[in-house]
């Protein structure tokens, strides 16, 4: 896989962002976006895609613990469809169950204050989601 991949962790108020290196091996954290409205969000994503020459988007899908789609996953699927239509790039999903909990554990282990954790959590979750995808793609080679 060659080309940058953008990772998204969709939230109601913030969207965590991560970007792969050009070789598609390592996910890097980007500052999260404040989610105000869909049109503005999609415009900001388009800017990121153009600026970073993104070729694919990976979005975390918040499935229930039993693997079913609940309200959060349904909202994410609707947004994913809007992203596909607007960005005209391949969009894939990754099961993000427990990614936020895992990110929070990492931040606690790193002794990050509660205030800073809240700011970092979304994008660190996006990094974990994207890295999971990249690792799977690279193992398949």
Query: What does the pLDDT look like over 78-128, one tens digit per residue?
Result: 999 999 999 999 999 998 866 666 766 666 666 666 766 566 667 888 999
In a domain, 10, yes or no: yes
Give the CA radius of gyration of the chain: 14
In a domain, 139, yes or no: no
In a domain, 83, yes or no: yes
Per-residue pLDDT tens digits for 85-94: 999 999 999 9
In a domain, 101, yes or no: yes
Question: Distance (Å, rounded) from C-alpha 14 to C-alpha 65?
Answer: 22
Q: Which domain holds residue 55?
A: 4-134
Distance of CA 34 to the CA centre of its chain: 14
Number of domains in the chain: 1
Question: Distance (Å, rounded) from C-alpha 101 to C-alpha 112?
Answer: 15
Question: Distance (Å, rounded) from C-alpha 44 to C-alpha 54?
Answer: 13
In a domain, 141, yes or no: no
Whether pTM > 0.75 for this model: the answer is yes
CATH of the domain at 21: 3.30.420.140
Residue matched to tokens 């960005």? 87
């Amino acid at each position: 896989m060659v080309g940058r991949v953008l990772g998204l962790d969709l939230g109601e108020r913030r969207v965590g962002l991560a970007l792969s290196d050009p070789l598609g091996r390592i996910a890097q954290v980007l500052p999260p976006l404040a989610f105000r409205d869909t049109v503005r969000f999609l415009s900001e994503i388009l800017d990121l895609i153009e600026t970073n020459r993104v070729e694919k988007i990976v979005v975390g899908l918040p499935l229930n613990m039993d693997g079913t789609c609940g309200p959060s996953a349904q909202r994410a699927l609707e947004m994913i469809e809007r992203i596909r239509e607007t960005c005209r790039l391949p969009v894939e999903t990754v099961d993000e169950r427990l990614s936020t909990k895992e990110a929070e554990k990492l931040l606690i282990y790193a002794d990050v204050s509660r205030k800073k954790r809240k700011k970092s959590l979304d994008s660190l979750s996006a990094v974990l989601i994207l890295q999971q995808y990249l690792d799977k793609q690279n193992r398949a080679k």
